[in-house]
Amino acid sequence: MTEGALPNTSTLTGWRKSSYSGSEGGSCVEVLDGHPAGVPVRDSKTPNGPALLFPSPDWSAFVTALKAGRLAP
């Protein structure tokens, strides 16, 4: 396994769709809370595929910046 990635997420349960994903069912990001190694993030179109694994403090900083509008599109 490469550090910062989970190659197969099929055995992990409890994924939730990001509130920033669109409601059209297209490009959706899913996150998994409570993972011991950090915050896994995956593409909902490939639920058995890989996920990026972010350290919890980094993910929290990203979400805070996003909510504050500091990350412009």
pLDDT of 52 reads 95
Residue 45 maps to a domain: yes
Question: What residues make up the domain containing 62?
Answer: 5-67
pLDDT of 2 reads 47
> How many domains does the chain contain in total?
1
- List the alpha helices (DSSP H) in 1-73: 56-67
Residue 43 maps to a domain: yes
d(CA 53, CA 4) in angstroms, rounded, equals: 5
Residue 72 maps to a domain: no
pLDDT of 1 reads 41
Residue 46 maps to a domain: yes
**pTM (2 decimals)?**
0.79
Residue 20 maps to a domain: yes
Residue 38 maps to a domain: yes
Residue 73 maps to a domain: no
pLDDT of 24 reads 66
Within the chain, strands assigned E span 5-6, 16-17, 29-31, 39-43, 51-54
- 30-47 pLDDT, tens digit each: 999 999 999 999 998 888
* Residues in the chain where the model's pLDDT stays below 50: 1-2
53: buried, middle or exposed (CB in 10 Å: 19+, 13-18, 0-12)? buried
d(CA 13, CA 42) in angstroms, rounded, equals: 13
